[in-house]
Structure 1
Amino acid sequence: MGCGTSSSVKDKKSEKALKAALVIQNWYRGRSAQLKTRQRYALTIFQSIEYADEQGQLQLSNFFSFMLENYTRVLEEDSELVTHLLGSNIQDKDRQDYLGLIDVPDSYCGPRLQFPLTFTDIDLLIEAFKQQQILHAYYVLEVLFETKKLLQQMPNFTHTKTSPSKEITICGDLHGKLDDLFLIYSKNGLPSVSNPYVFNGDFVDRGKNSMEILMILFVSFLVYPNDLHLNRGNHEDFMMNKRYGFTKEVLNKYKLKSVLMPPIPIDGDRATEKENKVGTTITARGIRRNGSLSEQLTKHEWEQVIDILWSDPRGKRGCYPNTSRGGGCYFGPDITSRILNKYQLKMLIRSHECKPEGYEICHDGKVITVFSASNYYEEGSNRGAYIRVSSGTPPRFFQYQMTRATCLRPLYQRVNAVESSAIRMLKERMISRKTDLIRVFQLQDCSKSGKLSVGQWAFSMENVLGLNLPWRSLSSRLVTTDKDGNTDYMSSFQDIHIQKPVKEVQSTLIETVYRYRSDLQMIFNVIDSDHSGLISMEEFRSMWKLFTSYYSVCIDDSQLDELAERMDLNKDGSIDFNEFLKAFYVVHKFDKLNKSDTKDA
């Protein structure tokens, strides 16, 4: 009996332990699922705002055509501005005209490239960039001229072969994330005849090291032109670079033709033309340099390039407008099958979209998206990946995530950080449309109670901001809700406001300038062709009037004149536009509280 009793006790203890383990396991799984959901919502916020900005960028490209059609004074008096805006004349000068102006001083301690380049130069450049050394402008220009020369000899579409014993590595967007490229080369090996690569564009913008990435890729391409392939992404475009950081990083080292500029009319178009004094033909849609028309894009070709660079796959059948980005299209699985069958292809490996795990498979396995920039939106926001493919075997995926300060943080802290950053961006978007949101809130608040149902609040947010987000689920982070489930809609703005540079200026103007600050900054950078950081008051007024006319922004010009004059602190008749825009910064109440808590601790 003693043995039986002992066995019974042990069985009960085992049963309790098992139940406890199951409870812990269920809690852990539930908690992990909850954190993953919050992380997914955060990524959705980041992506929705990113795509809305890209939509604004495409709309802005049309503004420049509007400017050329309506800004008569610029066309007649400042043809150089038009030339600066729409094209580069670097091709009009000889290579030595540039290189002859640059000396490499003996004091230069960075990498010195030897042409023709070899495998050793790739390694030399990587090691130098790891030490945060800068490649001298002389060598940068040498690399650029050599790369351009070689690319001009190659077709627009390249073909490469694999075999069971020879894989090819495919990488997605890098966006200036140099550490990710270092990691890929470290784990997967440097490019070579036996280790070929395809890089799917979007090398630049957003990140801090776009120039270094380009130099490594270009030098690798020059050493192995048949084994390293560089595809163009939608960010390999000077109009995108002016907005998203690459132009600022490299200034005037080189420029690209933009496919975002509307196509230049060819003979037979109805546009009125007139010759300016620098030998450039100005039309109502753009400029045409003296030269072969074969170098220019027709409207149909321009639309095709936009579709290639901007489109995204979706689950819905057919082909329809890409409403998120504002350019290109969405294409369904039927479109994918039709194209692959037409050209006897097995699958499409593309990039262009950030994915939480670094890659995503859709359209019955026929479309793979690969994205190689980890921590794209925020540290911990997403993994990066690359793919290795060979003949007769399925693709192999390799994931990674570059981590530094947060590498030892538990998952919930990393998710909190990503989510807080996403909510911060979303609240800044909300405050830029505060007046419009309040107007819509009040229209629905028939009883004037200051309350709306969560559904009404979510409808208002979607209607005004135009972001496709799970507003009901996000409401707990954005607005105060009472016990009956109604929202105090004005609480949406209680912890955030735009710092007003001039107290007398009405909030509508502040919100408008803040909302369009990126567009205004880009236009300013175009007008400020000498990069002095200053534009005249007259240029500012003309730019603003044209801008408000194009965007149908109803702002009293006298108010803006008053604001501009107040911002001109030294009364020299010029505006430091960078400081002007920085004056419109967003104040987050909770940031101040958190800083105070940190100090007290």
Structure 2
Amino acid sequence: MAAQDARSDGADASLALKNEGNAALARGRYAEAISCYSRALEADPSSPVLYSNRAMAHIKAESYGLAIADAEASIRLDASYIKAYYRRGSANFALGKYKLALRDFRAVCKLRPNDRDARLKLKECERAAKQLAFAVAIESEDAAPLSASLDVATISVDAAYDGPHLPEDGAPTDEFITEMLERFRAQKLIHRKYVLQILLRTKELLEAEKSLVDLEIGDRDRITICGDVHGQFYDLLHIFEINGRPSSSNPYVFNGDLVDRGSFSFEVVLSLFALKVQHPGGVHINRGNHETKNMSKIYGFEGEVRHKYDATVLALFHECFQWLPLAACVEKKVFVTHGGLSSDDGVTLDDVRKVSRNREPPDAGLMCDLLWSDPQAQDGRSPSKRGVGLSFGPDVTRAFLERNGLDLVVRSHEVRDNGYEVEHGGSLITVFSAPNYCDAMGNKGAFIHLSAALEPKFTTYDAVPHPPLRPMAYASASPFGL
């Protein structure tokens, strides 16, 4: 009887925690939901529903590796539990692993052949897989880039165009950039010819940089480091209002993930590229994991550029993205990269400088790690919660700093409630510059000032209003949103 009562109490506790988790998930409190489901699983470790629900929370938190593991645990407990296949398929789709996602959506359709939603998701996944196969088939390492044959001089500007005009030499002036930013604020675009000119000039500048850019503060007051902006253009304008527009005397490092999620990604990235062309020494941009063809296809940038311009403009953006540096080093002491550190011991700054970056990121290796990795609290290395890259501990950070004579790692890649977090005993900082991320997270944004003393100073800020265009408005309808 006592054992039966204990089981009953455990079931009641598990159900209550499951309900709490469901409520937290509905409110967008993903970490809270994961905690509730985890505690529920302690009381009832044989529940496929709990594993599947936690997988959904991990998907929302972009922890795709953990989502896949939970979905597989659910399937092992109940091979007929349809939602687990949905969740595993969604996580694999979000990682661009379309063949694995197809397996799961076909399984769902087999288990529930009359499910219209499942058939639609299977069709979308098949389409994405075919597009990827076609892109791989037509790409050649020896093929000349589009920029090599594009003749912008043949493009005329219609007399009816009422926006700013680039000078004849294609170099943006203060007046042009001011008018462009205000035009973007009013949800208007600039002429396609000027977009192409800015992209071509940007590519030339980026090609001349190394994969690791060495930066000096010199006689300037400071350098500003921003984390993910993710298409939140009106928050970017707010940063400029707080901190001044980038210039040679007011330099910035933008640490990746300029695009996707937010639906003003074009405005964000073109503004920063124009500012870089105007002030090459005042704007430095690292590549993030979203400045890639696969991510931008899923999370909105591709759809946005095709909607606002065309495939030629999109192709030039991707040429620029492939030349973005992977890291910066400030005063030989502060290492700045989007994701994190390597899965291999012994990596030096020279190894980063030598990375051949003019490509889409591979699934493993130093380039992948720099774009995708995350810190963890415990020492050592662990498989990534994302399913790509790795998680690295304080000991890995300390060893990297000691090996390279560095004092600090600054990275981005993850939301932080206050916009930043000092981690690994002060040797690593995460900075995130997209407040109220995706209009849902309620977080602050932040940026870092580094003066000559290299003592980080933080500025935090709240989100500002933006036009009523939802995040991911241009994203493809995908299984990710399950």
TM tier relative to shorter chain: 0.5 to 0.7
Query: Shift of the alpha carbon at 1:65?
Result: 13
- The letter of the residue matching 2:462 is Q
Given the alignment of the two structures, is residue 320 of structure 1 paired with residue 376 of structure 2, yes or no? no
Matched residue, 2:208:
153
Q: Aligned in 2, Cα 1:134/1:325: closer, same or farther, shift over 3 Å?
A: same
What is the correspondence of 1:56-455 to structure 2 with a 5 Å cutoff?
A: 56-57=92-93, 59-61=95-97, 63=99, 81-82=134-135, 91-93=144-146, 97-99=150-152, 102-114=155-167, 115-162=170-217, 166-251=221-306, 252=311, 253-255=313-315, 256=318, 303-322=365-384, 324-379=385-440, 381-392=442-453, 394-404=455-465
TM-score normalised by the chain length of structure 2: 0.61
Q: Match of 1:402, SS?
A: coil
Q: Aligned in 2, Cα 1:65/1:205: closer, same or farther, shift over 3 Å?
A: same
Aligned with 1:49 (options 60, 63, 66): 60
Instruction: Give structure 1 stretches of 5+ with no counterpart.
Output: 1-35, 68-73, 260-293, 406-515, 522-584, 587-601
Q: Aligned in 2, Cα 1:196/1:59: closer, same or farther, shift over 3 Å?
A: closer
Query: Shift of the alpha carbon at 1:124?
Result: 2.3
Give the paired residue count.
Answer: 335
TM-score normalised by the chain length of structure 1: 0.50
Q: Aligned in 2, Cα 1:88/1:135: closer, same or farther, shift over 3 Å?
A: farther
Q: Match of 1:159, SS?
A: strand
Q: Aligned in 2, Cα 1:80/1:232: closer, same or farther, shift over 3 Å?
A: closer
2:361 & 2:416 partners in 1: Cα distance?
32
Cα deviation, 1:215-237, whole Å, max 9, x if unaligned, reads 11001111111221000000000
Query: Shift of the alpha carbon at 1:254?
Result: 2.3
- The letter of the residue matching 1:246 is F
2:225 & 2:160 partners in 1: Cα distance?
39
Query: Shift of the alpha carbon at 1:149?
Result: 1.2
2:131 & 2:253 partners in 1: Cα distance?
43
Q: Match of 2:298, SS?
A: helix
Cα deviation, 1:51-97, whole Å, max 9, x if unaligned, reads 14585246534639999xxxxxx9xx999934577579994446664
Q: Match of 1:60, SS?
A: coil
What is the correspondence of 1:534-545 to structure 2 with a 5 Å cutoff?
A: none
- The letter of the residue matching 2:478 is S
2:229 & 2:131 partners in 1: Cα distance?
38
Contact kept in structure 2, 1:357 and 1:384, CA below 8 Å: yes
Q: Aligned in 2, Cα 1:236/1:85: closer, same or farther, shift over 3 Å?
A: farther
Q: Aligned in 2, Cα 1:85/1:400: closer, same or farther, shift over 3 Å?
A: farther
Q: Aligned in 2, Cα 1:39/1:348: closer, same or farther, shift over 3 Å?
A: farther
Query: Shift of the alpha carbon at 1:121?
Result: 2.6
Q: Aligned in 2, Cα 1:217/1:384: closer, same or farther, shift over 3 Å?
A: same
Query: Shift of the alpha carbon at 1:113?
Result: 2.0
Cα deviation, 1:160-211, whole Å, max 9, x if unaligned, reads 1125852100000000000111001111001122211000010000111111
- The letter of the residue matching 2:398 is S
Q: Match of 2:213, SS?
A: coil
Contact kept in structure 1, 2:259 and 2:301, CA below 8 Å: yes
Q: Match of 2:212, SS?
A: coil
Query: Shift of the alpha carbon at 1:378?
Result: 2.7
Contact kept in structure 1, 2:362 and 2:368, CA below 8 Å: no
Query: Shift of the alpha carbon at 1:297?
Result: 6.8
2:253 & 2:360 partners in 1: Cα distance?
29
Contact kept in structure 1, 2:94 and 2:298, CA below 8 Å: no
- The letter of the residue matching 1:49 is K
Q: Aligned in 2, Cα 1:310/1:205: closer, same or farther, shift over 3 Å?
A: same
Q: Aligned in 2, Cα 1:185/1:103: closer, same or farther, shift over 3 Å?
A: same
- The letter of the residue matching 1:107 is A
Q: Aligned in 2, Cα 1:237/1:104: closer, same or farther, shift over 3 Å?
A: same
1:50 & 1:41 partners in 2: Cα distance?
9
Contact kept in structure 1, 2:147 and 2:200, CA below 8 Å: no
Instruction: Give structure 2 stretches of 5+ with no counterpart.
Output: 1-23, 34-56, 66-90, 104-126, 323-355, 467-475
2:200 & 2:172 partners in 1: Cα distance?
13
- The letter of the residue matching 2:178 is D
- The letter of the residue matching 2:422 is I
- The letter of the residue matching 2:378 is K
Contact kept in structure 2, 1:168 and 1:390, CA below 8 Å: yes
Cα deviation, 1:535-566, whole Å, max 9, x if unaligned, reads xxxxxxxxxxxxxxxxxxxxxxxxxxxxxxxx
Query: Shift of the alpha carbon at 1:116?
Result: 2.2
- The letter of the residue matching 1:331 is F
Q: Match of 1:155, SS?
A: coil
Contact kept in structure 1, 2:92 and 2:101, CA below 8 Å: no
Query: Shift of the alpha carbon at 1:359?
Result: 0.6
1:79 & 1:310 partners in 2: Cα distance?
21
- The letter of the residue matching 1:378 is D
Contact kept in structure 2, 1:102 and 1:138, CA below 8 Å: yes
Q: Aligned in 2, Cα 1:39/1:93: closer, same or farther, shift over 3 Å?
A: closer
1:182 & 1:517 partners in 2: Cα distance?
29
1:65 & 1:42 partners in 2: Cα distance?
23
Contact kept in structure 2, 1:375 and 1:402, CA below 8 Å: yes
2:416 & 2:397 partners in 1: Cα distance?
20
Q: Aligned in 2, Cα 1:372/1:139: closer, same or farther, shift over 3 Å?
A: same
- State the percentage of identical aligned residues: 34
Cα deviation, 1:238-258, whole Å, max 9, x if unaligned, reads 100000000000121223379
- The letter of the residue matching 2:99 is F
Deviant stretches of 4+, over 6 Å = 64-67, 77-80, 87-90, 294-301
Query: Shift of the alpha carbon at 1:42?
Result: 4.5
Q: Match of 1:364, SS?
A: helix
> What is the Cα-based RMSD across aligned positions, in Å?
4.0
Contact kept in structure 2, 1:164 and 1:392, CA below 8 Å: no
